[in-house]
Every structure is written in C-alpha cells, then in structure tokens.
C-alpha cells in the first residue's frame, strides 16, 4: 500500500498540470482509502479465524477477496495511466462492486458469521452507488 501511495503522487501531479476533472481525482483517493480498509478488514478476519478455528470455506473466501484486492490495485494503475474515466471506468467499477456482493452472498452461505457478511455487503453496495455517481457526474460519459 505504501508503494501504491507513492505511485499515486505522480499521476496527481499530472492531473494538476493538465487540469483534469477534480471529481475523478477525489474518486481515486477514496478508492485507495477503500483498498486500505479492505486490507485491514482481511487482516482482522484472518486473525479472528485463527483464534476461533472457523470453517475452511472462509479461508477460500479470504483468498478470493485478496485476489480481488490485487486486481483492484492493478485496475487502478491502468486507469491512472489512461487518465480517462469515461463510461468504461464506471462499468468496470460496477462489475467489481457486483463481484463484492457475490462474495458477500458466498459468505452468508458459508455461514462464518453475519458481521463479516454485513460489512462486505456495505463495501460492495457503496461502490455500486459510487460508480453510478461517476456515470452521472462526469461530463462526456
């Protein structure tokens, strides 16, 4: 995450020089915060599971969520390089958010505890709403 934070400073300079849309920059900053929260959530979940010795399916879920986190970081870098949110950006973000909801449904089925499922649903649904905001708020989408 530290490398990602350092990496984000160079595009930030580029966005200031070119006068790129401010809402896109704010969105990316919030997305980085979300990734940090998700990482902390994964660590807490893993610790909780070690203490309680939960079912193996939750470990598979956490592995999938870690892969999702890595894909999200890669996709952030890709769009920083393009510096063009547009319709494709919002569609891909909706897909990631929907996948988060599917993961949350899987958690409910695996029954590792309702709290984890609720937190994950909140994260996923927040990003669906935010992607919709991007579609509506950025001119040219």
pLDDT of residue 37: 72
Does residue 119 have a pLDDT over 50? Answer: yes
pLDDT of residue 41: 72
In whole angstroms, give the CA distance from residue 126 to residue 83: 23
pLDDT in tens, 20-58: 555 666 666 676 677 777 767 766 666 666 665 555 566
Q: What region does 139 belong to: left with phi over 0, alpha with psi -120 to 50, or beta?
A: beta
**Count of domains for the chain:** 1
Give every CB contact of residue 128 below 8 A, 6+ residues apart in sequence.
94, 97, 98, 101
Does residue 3 have a pLDDT over 70? Answer: no
pLDDT of residue 1: 46
Does residue 6 have a pLDDT over 70? Answer: no
pLDDT in tens, 59-75: 666 666 666 666 665 56
Nearest to 62, CA basis, from 109, 14, 106, 6: 106
In whole angstroms, give the CA distance from residue 7 to residue 103: 29
pLDDT of residue 28: 66
Sign (positive or negative) of CA dihedral 101, 55, 116, 75? negative
Mean pLDDT score of the chain, rounded to an integer?
A: 59
Over pLDDT 70: what percentage of the chain? 5
Q: Which domain holds residue 132?
A: 2-137
The Cα-based distances of 82 to 39, 85, 86 in angstroms read 25, 8, 10
pLDDT of residue 53: 58
């Amino acid at each position: 995450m530290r490398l990602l934070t350092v990496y984000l400073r160079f595009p930030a300079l580029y966005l200031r020089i070119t006068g790129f849309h401010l809402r896109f920059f704010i969105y990316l900053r919030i997305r980085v915060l979300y990734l940090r929260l998700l990482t902390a959530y994964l660590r807490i979940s893993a610790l909780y599971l070690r203490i309680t010795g939960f079912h193996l399916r939750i470990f598979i879920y956490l592995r999938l969520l870690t892969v999702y986190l890595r894909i999200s970081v890669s996709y952030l870098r890709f769009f920083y390089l393009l510096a063009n949110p547009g319709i494709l950006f919002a569609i891909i973000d909706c897909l990631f958010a929907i996948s988060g909801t599917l993961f949350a449904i899987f958690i409910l089925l695996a029954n590792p505890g309702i709290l984890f499922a609720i937190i994950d649903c909140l994260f996923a649904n927040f990003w669906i709403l935010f992607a919709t905001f991007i579609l509506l708020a950025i001119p040219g989408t």
